[in-house]
A and B are shown apart, each in its own frame.
Chain A
Amino acid sequence: MYIRLRQILLILILINPFILVASEGEKEEEGFNLVDFALHHIADSYSWDFYHKKDGTAVGIKLPRILVDLKNINVKFYLSTQKALENGCEFEHEFNHNASHGTLLFPNTGPRYLELKKAIEEKSTISQPDKIQQKEIKSLKRQLRMLKPLDFSITKNVLFMLFAGILLLWVFISIANKYKRNPNVAPSGLQSALEPIIVFVRDDIAKTYIPHKYERFLPLLLNFFFFIWFLNMMGLVPFSGNVTGNIAVTASLALITFFATNINGKKNYWQHIFWYPGVPIPVKFILLVVEFVSIFTKPFALAIRLFANITAGHLVILAFISLIFMFGKSGEALWAGVGTSFLSVGFALFIDMIEILIALLQAYIFTTLSALFIGQAVETEH
């Protein structure tokens, strides 16, 4: 039984890159562009696509669009981007109508919108606009942009964040209930798998870096650790969203650290920033600038580190998979592609294994550095 499980796991791991090949190799046109291909696959999107048919249409789940207009206080809900377009929404940009990546939609917001649109069209028909006319067009476009609604759409990344949230709630509430029901019994099942990790976060991260009253920050740190870890692991599964490889997500997480650090900052912390004790007065002014900038660079580096690590890993895997199509010339030189596939699947598998390690390591580093920053802030004079 044990061996069979292991065999199945091994086969699944070996198939994993092939699934990637099958899912992502379909839509090659002549001239394979590695950069476009890779950046397309790590980007967020408004639909959860599984594969593309021969004619280029995507097969997958269309995700809803939610547009919130703060000025007129109305919320527009459409089941998909297609539905939104049918109901009078327009793409923000005139170019690239087929793109569903990162395109904001414009709901048809009343007469003011139409007026501006018409004015821009009239101005644009002038064959050689002089400087004043160009300025007018620019200002009209800016006014049009001011009408832009807030985009609260459920994108692929949001969907996977919700998945991760539900998974975390389910796992940890069930564990917590187990402890409540019979507190003095040895842990079993999932409980015994996760208890060492929770204890590790408590003892090796929270207690080490936050000397006093670490209990206050333990829920935050545990949340960071498991949320990032789960999302990193989810990102490695084919067809899933690359959530922690999105700068907006990591920046939001880093922003939480930023607020946790600065709101809890004690007198000692602020004194070290604005009036560094124990150095000559001219040096105090130099240190003021350095320390003040470091308030912002610390969370910024935190966000970039997680984002770039995950993105770089995905890019390397995609690059190895792409080698097959580059050598195979998208089916022209079939056997060259087949020959390359052995090598590149092997390498992709190797990087996949490293990525599993990195998924855990990055969660650990994010949590540790957050704990370190918070610990520095709440430290009192000794």
Chain B
Amino acid sequence: MLLLDLGLGLGAGLAAGLGVLGAGIGIGQIGGNAAQAIARQPEAAGKINSAMIITAAMIEGAALFAIVVGIIMIS
């Protein structure tokens, strides 16, 4: 029973953690590249910003699936 609890806790932590790790890398890339793009073409900043936010939201959605799975596992 203790082992099962331990496994569930570890699994939930890993599910959320690894899911968020991937999203973190992805959003970091988006942010970095958007900053570069704005530096090259400052007049397109508005368009780049909204594209950046939408793409980041899509990736974040994937990470949140992982978090929800983690929450369901422990509750």
Contacts and interface: CB of A to CB of B under 8 A. Distances in A.
Interface of A: 35, 39, 204, 208, 301, 304-305, 307-309, 311-312, 315, 361, 364-365, 368-369, 372
Interface of B: 50, 53-54, 57-58, 60-61, 64-65, 67-68, 71, 74-75
Contact of A308 (B58, B64, B74): B64
A365 B54 contact: yes
Nearest to A308: B64
B68 A305 contact: no
A308 B57 contact: no
A305 B65 CA distance: 8
Contact of B64 (A204, A208, A312, A315): A312
Given A35-B75, A39-B75, A308 B68 contact: yes
B74 A365 contact: no
Nearest to A372: B54
A309 B65 CA distance: 10
Given A39-B75, A304-B64, A304-B68, A369 B57 contact: yes
Contacts of A365: 53-54, 57
A305 B75 contact: no
Contact of A305 (B50, B57, B71): B57
A23 B58 CA distance: 36
Contacts of B60: 305, 309
Contacts of A308: 64-65, 67-68
Contacts of A204: 50
Contacts of B75: 35, 39
Given A35-B74, A39-B75, A305-B60, A364 B65 contact: no
A93 B71 CA distance: 24
B75 to A, nearest CB: 6
Contacts of B68: 304, 307-308
B24 to A, nearest CB: 14
B61 A304 contact: yes
Nearest to B64: A308
B48 to A, nearest CB: 13
13 contacts: A35-B75, A204-B50, A301-B58, A304-B65, A304-B68, A305-B64, A307-B68, A308-B68, A312-B64, A368-B53, A369-B54, A369-B57, A372-B54
Contacts of B54: 365, 368-369, 372
A305 B67 CA distance: 11
A163 to B, nearest CB: 27
A208 B50 contact: yes
B64 A364 contact: no
A234 B23 CA distance: 28
Given A308-B67, A369-B54, A372-B54, A301 B74 contact: no
A304 B62 CA distance: 9
A311 B74 CA distance: 15
Contacts of B74: 35
A308 to B, nearest CB: 4
A368 B51 CA distance: 10
A204 B46 CA distance: 10
Given A39-B75, A208-B50, A312 B57 contact: no
Contacts of A369: 54, 57
A312 B50 CA distance: 24
A305 B53 contact: no
Contacts of B57: 305, 365, 368-369
Contacts of A361: 53
Highest count of chain A CB atoms <10 Å: which of B58, B60, B61, B68: B61
B61 A364 contact: no
Nearest to A309: B64
